[in-house]
Structure formats: C-alpha cells, structure tokens
Amino acid sequence: MGTPAAAAGTTSVAVPNSSFGDGWLDGKLKCWNTGPSGAAKLTLTSRSHSGPWAAHATGTTAAGSQVVLSTDRTEACPIPVTAGRQYTLGFWMSSSAGAQPVVSSYSTTAGWTEWFRGTKISATTDLRRYTAVLPVVPTGVTRLSVGLSFPGTGTVVLDDVDLTAPETVLTAPQTTAPAAPAALFQPVFPASGLVTNEFAYWNPTDPQRADSRDWEMTSGSLFALDGSGYSGKVDGGSPDVRSVTNTGSAIFRLNTRDHSFGDVQVAMKLNVSGLTATSRTPAVDWDGVHIFLHYQSQYELYYASVARRDGHVVIKKKCLGGPSNGGAYYALGSSEVSGLSLPLNSWQDVGASIRNNADGSVFIALQRNGKTVSTATDSGVGCAPIRAAGATGIRGDNAEFRFSGFTVSALG
C-alpha cells in the first residue's frame, strides 16, 4: 500500500525512509532517531501498515518524561519545504500510552527549533491513520524534521509517514530583517610579535610574561603576523617566557578571557599553511583547526572542527571526567561529514554558531565559505547539555595556521 499518492491539486514532499523499508545504515535506523540519547530502544517490527517493516520505539526512561521519535536533522535526510506553503503531516500509528506529532523547523538564522506540537492522540492497539495540519511555513525556513513525542514509559509503532501541501503558495508570515548585530568581540592584532602563550597562563606572577587582555592559552603560542593571528612554526616543546626556543603550538589551545558568550555566531578567515607531526604529537585524523563554543574550561566545552587532516568536519562535546586530559569527547549526532578538505595556503571563511533551545537542548551549526555544512543538536550526550555562557576560541592540532577577522556576534 505504502505512502498515499498526493491528491489532485496537492504536492507531496518525500519523507526519508518513510515506510522504513530502507532499514539500517551505520548501526542505526536510516534517517530516524530517538531523543534524548539513550531514552528509547528503536527497532523494526513486521506489524506494519504496508511493506515489510514499521518503526517500533520503546521508551526506557522514568514516568513523566517524554521521548521523541523523529527524522534526522542532516543533509543526508532532508525534508525540504517552501515558505508560504501549508503542509499536512500524515502517518499510521499505534501507541501504548498516547503520542502527539512534533515538527521542528530549520533556518540559517535560528537553526533547528521546535515549531509545531499537535494535539495528543489517545492510545490504541491497532494501526490507524492520523493527520495534522501544520502552520504556514515562515519566511526563511527551508527544512523540517517530523516525528512523534510519547511518554518515556510508552511504546509507539509508526509507518507510512507523508507530507503534502496544496499547490497554491500562501502568503508566508513576514518579518522585517533585523540589522546585523554589533560584534561582541573583535580583537585587533599588532603587525608582529608574541601576543600570549601557555607560559603566561601557567606563570601568572612572572613579570616578563606575555599577557593579553583578550586571550589566554593553556597550550601553545599565539603570535601576530601582518595584523593577523598566527600559530607560529609548530613544535612539540614547551615555550619559554617569549616562545623563543619553542612554540608548543603542536597543541594549540586559545580561548577568550571573556566567558559571557551565550547564543553567538563565531566567524573568521582561516589560512592553514600545513599539517605536521612531532614525537609528542603523532599525526592523527583530527589534526587541524577547530572553534570552541560554550567553553567552560579545558575539560568542558563544545568544538566545531572546520578543517581536519582527513577532510572531515564534525561537531563534538567534551564532558568533565575521562581519559582525554581530564575529559571525554563525544561526536554529536550525525554531524561528521566527509569530503570537505580545506585548501592549504588559501584564505577561507569558516565559522560556527550555538544556540540554547527551549526544550533544554543545544543547537550548533558549522559553516564553510558562507554555507552551513554540518549541524548537531545536543540533548545530553555524555553529560548534560552545556547551556551556560562561556568563552570561545580556537584549537589547533599539528597545524600551522593564520586567522583574521575573528568576530563573535549575538544571534538574533
């Protein structure tokens, strides 16, 4: 039977793996997930409406909590929509404790946010078809993620999910484009010389230290070169007071002194001149340059990998307590994207943004040359979402690089 054909005068949008016949990919149900992480067991069942399979999600959390079964928010599993259209979500479902349709929307300014939550549907033992009419898609929204919210002790079976809309485009809700926000942080570099280094951080009372009002470093050295920031020649040694004999920049850890950055966009121009290795730091896939977000300390932070040796980009989280310098790293969702090598000796625009969502999660987006190439939503992977304002900054691994125009701006 499958997903119903669009009626005359309507247009249909493909929902990825809508009847769950595509099965599993890389150890997960293709294009579908449950959240928060670890809150449900997601499998397939032959008790379907059409085809061989339906999705079967069983909550594994305490009474009073909610679980969401929804499509992935990734480039590989898009549900593209058009501003001004009013879509209808349809699906076949049974549930042990009731459920309600939920839809999240994506725009480049707001990232992923919950946009629609429908009326609760009562529990039923047999599969039945339901529909929910969504609001008119606002200007700026380009993608949706659709799914169901259900109690953490409940079970749902879902099949044949579809999205349709009248062919007529309605007038989308209009908003006046806000003026570009003023920069919260935009440091200026001198023509040349040492700006600061790890010696200054670990020896705060030494009168000869290279102190900076803008930056601090737990590892490595930051120089100025022709008015831009520069890692210096990479080595694995320990810097002296002026980083004359060693830079230590094989492990480059730079953060702002200001720890008040909450929902922000970080942008800069980046020029990587080369990747190397030292006896202290052998070559690894993740060598490159990364942007810190919501940096609480060197043990608790997010970072967006904008340039890596293996050509991947990814968004990760570090939680306090673990084997990696007092913490443990977790890749967020399906944020790792391959085939995005950064050209050497070429200035490129890179950036990342972070926003706290109303549901307690944190949304992060990674940009290259003005295009969002990776996104992730952290609902508590490894530890609770890091929602507190923090520092931002740059991490480098075995990378010699320069950066300019480093700017932190508030998200609208």
**pLDDT tens-digit series, residues 47-106:** 999 989 999 999 988 777 888 999 999 888 999 999 888 999 999 999 999 999 999 999
Task: Tell me what the mean pLDDT of segment 394-408 comes to.
Answer: 97
Tell me, what's the pLDDT at 391? Answer: 96
Task: Tell me what the mean pLDDT of segment 111-127 comes to.
Answer: 89
Tell me, what's the pLDDT at 176? Answer: 43
pLDDT at 145 > cutoff 80: yes
User: pLDDT-derived band of residue 40, with 50, 70 and 90 as boundaries?
Assistant: confident
Give the least confident one: 22-36, 146-160, 280-294, 300-314. Answer: 22-36
- Residue carrying the six token digits 């009002």: 213
Q: How far is CA 50 from the centre of its chain?
A: 34
User: pLDDT-derived band of residue 347, with 50, 70 and 90 as boundaries?
Assistant: very high
* Residue 37 one-letter amino acid: S
Tell me, what's the pLDDT at 178? Answer: 44
Tell me, what's the pLDDT at 325? Answer: 79
pLDDT at 3 > cutoff 70: no
Tell me, what's the pLDDT at 182? Answer: 67
d(CA 365, CA 120): 31
Residues 179-226: tens digit of each pLDDT: 556 689 999 999 899 999 999 999 999 999 999 999 999 999 999 999
User: pLDDT-derived band of residue 1, with 50, 70 and 90 as boundaries?
Assistant: very low
Residues 120-139: tens digit of each pLDDT: 899 999 999 999 998 889 98
The answer to whether 220 touches 247, Cβ cutoff 8 Å, is: yes
Tell me, what's the pLDDT at 322? Answer: 80
Tell me, what's the pLDDT at 381? Answer: 94
Tell me, what's the pLDDT at 172? Answer: 45
> Of 209, 229, 207, 231, which Cα lies nearest the Cα of 219?
231
To the nearest 5 percent, what fractions of the chain are helix, strand and coil?
0, 50, 45
pLDDT at 170 > cutoff 80: no
User: pLDDT-derived band of residue 110, with 50, 70 and 90 as boundaries?
Assistant: confident
d(CA 379, CA 358): 11
d(CA 247, CA 238): 7
CA 323 → CA 327, 328, 357, 387, distances in Å?
6, 6, 30, 23
> Of 124, 50, 129, 55, which Cα lies nearest the Cα of 89?
129
Tell me, what's the pLDDT at 177? Answer: 41
Residues 235-292: tens digit of each pLDDT: 999 999 999 999 999 999 999 999 999 999 999 999 999 999 999 999 999 999 999 9
Tell me, what's the pLDDT at 168? Answer: 57
The answer to whether 232 touches 243, Cβ cutoff 8 Å, is: yes
User: pLDDT-derived band of residue 165, with 50, 70 and 90 as boundaries?
Assistant: confident
